[in-house]
Amino acid sequence: MVLQGNPLCIGAKVMTCHRPVRQKINLDEESLKELGADYGLCKSTSALFQEALSDSDRIRILQQQNEDLRHRLSLSTHKMEAMEAEFEGSRHYMEAELSRTRDDLDKMRDKFR
């Protein structure tokens, strides 16, 4: 979605706005649904976003997105830590198996000498 004026990044989309706090803006359906979903609004109330967002609204949206990103980062970090622990456990198991197999091989070599 593109407005006119100074750029304001919201999510992966770039918005721009004029200096006045209130102005008429045009948002596409996808953007309206996205903004409406952020605030738990139904499709009929998402028409409210047809009017300009105040600076405090923009700040709240960005703060919510920041909070969501931090939450996702936290979940990803925990998942990566769990995967690392699983990998380390598997690595230790495989090293132990390799050691046992080498011992068995050495025993078999000694047997056939």
Element housing 58 (H / E): helix 55-111
Residue 113: the pLDDT is 82
- Residue 60 to residue 11: CA distance in whole angstroms: 13
44-48, 94-98, 108-112: range with lowest mean pLDDT: 44-48
| pTM: predicted TM-score of the whole model, two decimal places | 0.45
Phi, psi of 2 (to 5 degrees): -130, 125
Check pLDDT > 90 for residue 23.
no
Q: Check residue 95 and give its pLDDT.
A: 97
